[in-house]
Structure 1
């Protein structure tokens, strides 16, 4: 097949058109010879002179034949294969391809073909497709704008509107989402008919696919990522329930009340195990419990969140659990967010309680409402609490490496994007969902979406990256879809984000080292002062603290200086008064003399 490239050009660009016609020679002018003019000429010897307007070139002709080449393609289905190769047999064709690729001349032939193809590609790219040829048309922006749209809205089917406390996406690609509602107001009067949780299909927002009917309110619920029919939920009364949607809308099994939590179960997560039936739960009673769905009578293990250094753990010193975090790539590690603002990094393989609770971070002044590790940088985790969101590194325990400014509205939840590692979301109590992209702006949200007029309570990201589920205070759930530039990473994003995290981590390490040095100097000064006090005899009353002496000297020096200033001002006032009296006396005498 020949590749032709027509080039078009206007006729006016070729120059003036030549007009030819058939006509004979015409005599324009004639100059006859005159003998009178010959007198003015000087005769000389004959000279032959040749005059030529252009370079002299020799004429040479050789009869040759020009080689004509034509580019042609070959369709192997139509007979390009050898006769001994059966094109219907896939194994024979693959074997023949491998044989041809191993030939020494294969690389040389491909290089020659690539040159011809490269020439065509370069000609194709010679035209700038982004060039603006018309001035009356606005240029198209090259960067995609950040956008978000609401896909579906799910309403609470109960007459009593309850807040959304947790959501979970189904593991089959997110075709369904389960939403649980719970009123966590202390001693709220909730009837049994208002305990329902709903399984919604994304394509059907009118009626739920299934209504789960627990005996008490469900605070949290999670899908098993290995089995889309299995669920576990944490109840308001401290129990944990196991569900199988194939067996109806009632729980399959419950934990025994005596072995359950004493407070509502705030968080529940599945863990990696060979059987795929193990999970753990956390509550504000200060305990974590590991369970197996095949044996719900007793927990497999119980951990008391007593962060003190005492050998025996006490439930009276335990910290209440507000949120749990578990990364499946680190099977033995997990993190716990507490009610008093601490995040505890734990290791399940530890033998002693101090070994199980390895590190503690003071993240917020109030409860930790959200806690999640970054999918690509597991050392960095996000926390949300109070009025701010913070990004921490496990290498820096004293302060966060990055944080947002304090918002006017309280933050209620946050999460990382599972596909674009530099993006995280925060939900606010004024109904706005903020999207932060660290590669675009680290001081302000990239986009803020007004979801509803009611406070947002919970959000959950889909593993696909584009969808996010957001719940509010009156039980309404929104499915939000974001644009591609907020959902998917580019090839350089991971390297750029790595540089940002490393730079901020180094900066915080330098500040921590500086703070430790200052604290060490203060402790050394205090210890030297105490040592000097111990060396002085108790009967010697002349000993005084050098800091106190310095402070007294400075105090009396200031008093003396201020006293001198006041005396000088008084002297100036007295002199001014005397001068004024003298002037008044002179005026009186002048008046009396006449």
Structure 2
């Protein structure tokens, strides 16, 4: 369509006029819309916006394999041209220019370690503060072990790392049954198991050790790790030897690759990979549980559940009279004896060579005589303790209800870490009781307090002998953990359900106090923690940091106390699980083969819980009580050769889960000057407590000598600390009556200094000696 206009009408004049809108109204005639009643059919239609699926295959091009070889030869210059090039002025100028730079670089390499990571120690002091809540302070869980049959919904009462192999840990599982429930199940026989886990297999335990009763304490032999000793709920002691099971397991693993060597096709390889889990199940079923090698004679076993167990150090033995002797001959570097305690007050020593007539004690003779038949033939040799003593209460009749055990090391051995190979001949030990007492005792028989039978050579000790050296009212509830600091062997940690205490037992070395008898009982603990809202179940010292303590709680939290950061509350709380934690154990540092004293050092460390390795167990399977046994390390600093790159800790809970946690770098690497700061802190707190007790004694008018243990029953301690019972010297030795109260030791030191000064100056003192 086109519109045209005449040319005459272009550029014409326009005339506009006004007009109302009504004048523009045009009437339109009404008519019916034909499409209004049009009927349409409704139809459902689906649309898809994606392309259709097409099956297709592809294959790479195949080339025939051809054997080929290739040889390279360097490009060389002719001898004449090479000599001319080396003698040229250009090469001489180049060498003169770069020679100083090369010499400087070589000197720097000789001065600095080129393989040292310059960022490893960057901002170490700032990162060590636990106030920075970053990812470095989080404990990462590396492994989690549980068995659906043997450990699920059971309490993990004891944990112990293999002393020779990395990644192998044993755990004892006990039923979560109350005392009333156990009474109902007395007529039933249900086996309990110790599970030995390997980091390679997270589903099945590598080896299982079968036990007729629940295991409450368990330890690997330090020098012969294939031997495991354990204490049961009924008071018996068991020993396993799983060397045959290890040999069978190694043969089965060796036979696996050979059985599948004939499958060369890809289909066979796929089928072999798919059935690997089935083969692991078959291997797990083919290795039967290990039966006990030795079972103690129940008539001479403990009358209460075994609370704690420790192997004696290498090179140390206890004879049938309780005397400590050095091992000789083939047994010089071996560990053959261990000690157990229970709530019946018995401290029993067991020897693996009990079948040898050389190690025949009076208890063994009585048992063999009772079991002899009419014709005089002994059917079997019973496993009985070679020596046993009973610790009695000092202020009331009855036995001490022992719960935790710690074998003492002499000051020289603790400071040198056992260098020189000389065994530590000491018979003193520390214990914690169910009544919250801190006990220091000596298992060697001493003269009785009022007479006594000294002529009988019995393996149960002399009746009436004084074994308890001193006793402290430490906690109002049972002592759940007892251990010594790996860096300071004289600093002890005791824990109860609501708080923990730190003790300093080294004051016997200051000023020539009572000979070899710690007097910490006169001063009380040097530190008392605040009450915790949740129950403490297990404790452990950090094996590498002197000022860090780990606490396991009933709410599943793992608290970290860093005394360099703060001492009024925990520095860090880590959620491990939703149930109660029952045991904790740090992985000890393995002794390398190039160490000349590796056997003795490893046995000594593992015999007392490992150098710096914390250990705790639950002795009450219904309520989760724990213990901690951290072996004392060198007093001169942190444990030598400690691998702080990956410090692992095993934590057990109340439902049968074993958690392997990696300690972060800020909690495993000691900071600069940490040991000196903690040593000054412990010394300052010890002096403060000593002064407080001295002022209290002087204000009460007590100007007598050091009271005897029997004369100070029920003495109350200072506010905020535990009540303490005073100490007594070794039996047969009385305290010096010239020493008056706590100031006696200081007076002797002053007299000695005065006499030395007068002797050096050539003067004669007017004071009488």
The equivalences for 1:540-579 within 5 A come to none
Query: Greater CA radius of gyration, 1 or 2?
Result: 1
Q: Which residue of 2 aligns with 1:164?
A: 156
CA distance in 2, matches of 1:467, 1:370: 20
CA distance in 2, matches of 1:277, 1:453: 40
The equivalences for 1:83-98 within 5 A come to none
- TM-score under structure 1 length normalisation: 0.62
Q: Which residue of 2 aligns with 1:229?
A: 226
The alignment status of 1:71 with 2:55, answered yes or no, reads: no
Q: Determine if contact 1:365/1:386 at 8 Å carries over to the other structure.
A: no
1:348 Cα offset (Å): 3.3
The alignment status of 1:326 with 2:407, answered yes or no, reads: yes
Pick one of 277, 297, 307 that aligns with 2:383.
Answer: 297
Q: Determine if contact 2:430/2:439 at 8 Å carries over to the other structure.
A: yes
Q: Determine if contact 1:168/1:177 at 8 Å carries over to the other structure.
A: yes
Q: Which residue of 2 aligns with 1:479?
A: 660
Pick one of 362, 380, 388 that aligns with 2:473.
Answer: 362
Pick one of 495, 502, 508 that aligns with 2:676.
Answer: 495
CA distance in 1, matches of 2:477, 2:338: 27
1:357 Cα offset (Å): 2.0
Deviations 1:478-520 (A, max 9, x none): 1111112211324522211111111111111111111212332
3-state SS in 2 of match to 1:237 = coil
Pick one of 508, 514, 524 that aligns with 2:689.
Answer: 508
1:153 Cα offset (Å): 1.1
Q: Determine if contact 1:340/1:365 at 8 Å carries over to the other structure.
A: yes
3-state SS in 1 of match to 2:701 = helix
Q: Which residue of 1 aligns with 2:143?
A: 152
Change (3 A) 1:327 1:463: farther
Q: Which residue of 1 aligns with 2:535?
A: 410
The alignment status of 1:143 with 2:254, answered yes or no, reads: no
1:140 Cα offset (Å): 12
3-state SS in 1 of match to 2:687 = helix
CA distance in 1, matches of 2:296, 2:109: 73
3-state SS in 1 of match to 2:685 = helix
CA distance in 2, matches of 1:156, 1:361: 42
1:70 Cα offset (Å): 6.0
CA distance in 2, matches of 1:199, 1:430: 27
The equivalences for 1:248-397 within 5 A come to 248=245, 249-272=290-313, 273=316, 274=327, 275=331, 276-295=335-354, 297-308=383-394, 317-327=398-408, 329=413, 331=424, 332=426, 333-349=428-444, 351-352=446-447, 356-394=467-505, 395=507, 396-397=520-521
CA distance in 2, matches of 1:141, 1:492: 11
3-state SS in 1 of match to 2:157 = strand
- RMSD of Structure 2 on Structure 1 (CA): 3.4
**Aligned residue pairs, count:** 404
1:243 Cα offset (Å): 1.1
1:268 Cα offset (Å): 0.7
CA distance in 2, matches of 1:324, 1:439: 28
CA distance in 2, matches of 1:487, 1:334: 29
Q: Determine if contact 1:158/1:194 at 8 Å carries over to the other structure.
A: no
CA distance in 2, matches of 1:163, 1:411: 16
Change (3 A) 1:119 1:357: closer
1:362 Cα offset (Å): 1.8
- TM-score under structure 2 length normalisation: 0.49
Q: Determine if contact 2:307/2:404 at 8 Å carries over to the other structure.
A: yes
User: 1 or 2 for the larger relative contact order (CA 8 Å, sep ≥6)?
Assistant: 2
3-state SS in 2 of match to 1:317 = coil
1:351 Cα offset (Å): 2.6
3-state SS in 1 of match to 2:142 = strand
The alignment status of 1:419 with 2:411, answered yes or no, reads: no
Deviations 1:270-304 (A, max 9, x none): 01123411100011111111111121633122121
1:204 Cα offset (Å): 2.2
CA distance in 2, matches of 1:197, 1:521: 54
Q: Which residue of 1 aligns with 2:179?
A: 186
CA distance in 2, matches of 1:494, 1:281: 33
1:367 Cα offset (Å): 0.6
The alignment status of 1:219 with 2:344, answered yes or no, reads: no
CA distance in 2, matches of 1:498, 1:140: 21
1:173 Cα offset (Å): 4.7
Change (3 A) 1:69 1:467: same
3-state SS in 2 of match to 1:219 = strand
CA distance in 1, matches of 2:110, 2:488: 44
Q: Determine if contact 2:190/2:212 at 8 Å carries over to the other structure.
A: no
CA distance in 2, matches of 1:470, 1:116: 50
Deviations 1:522-566 (A, max 9, x none): 99xxxxxxxxxxxxxxxxxxxxxxxxxxxxxxxxxxxxxxxxxxx
Name the structure where strand makes up a greater proportion of residues.
1
Change (3 A) 1:115 1:216: closer
CA distance in 2, matches of 1:225, 1:521: 49
Q: Determine if contact 1:267/1:323 at 8 Å carries over to the other structure.
A: yes
Q: Which residue of 2 aligns with 1:36?
A: none
CA distance in 2, matches of 1:236, 1:140: 47
Change (3 A) 1:522 1:513: closer
Q: Determine if contact 1:419/1:463 at 8 Å carries over to the other structure.
A: no
1:410 Cα offset (Å): 0.8
CA distance in 2, matches of 1:70, 1:475: 68
3-state SS in 2 of match to 1:418 = coil
CA distance in 2, matches of 1:432, 1:116: 53
Q: Determine if contact 2:527/2:685 at 8 Å carries over to the other structure.
A: yes
1:336 Cα offset (Å): 0.8
Change (3 A) 1:480 1:235: same
CA distance in 2, matches of 1:72, 1:283: 75
CA distance in 1, matches of 2:204, 2:119: 49
CA distance in 1, matches of 2:677, 2:401: 38
3-state SS in 2 of match to 1:520 = coil
1:375 Cα offset (Å): 1.2
1:149 Cα offset (Å): 1.0
Change (3 A) 1:119 1:193: closer
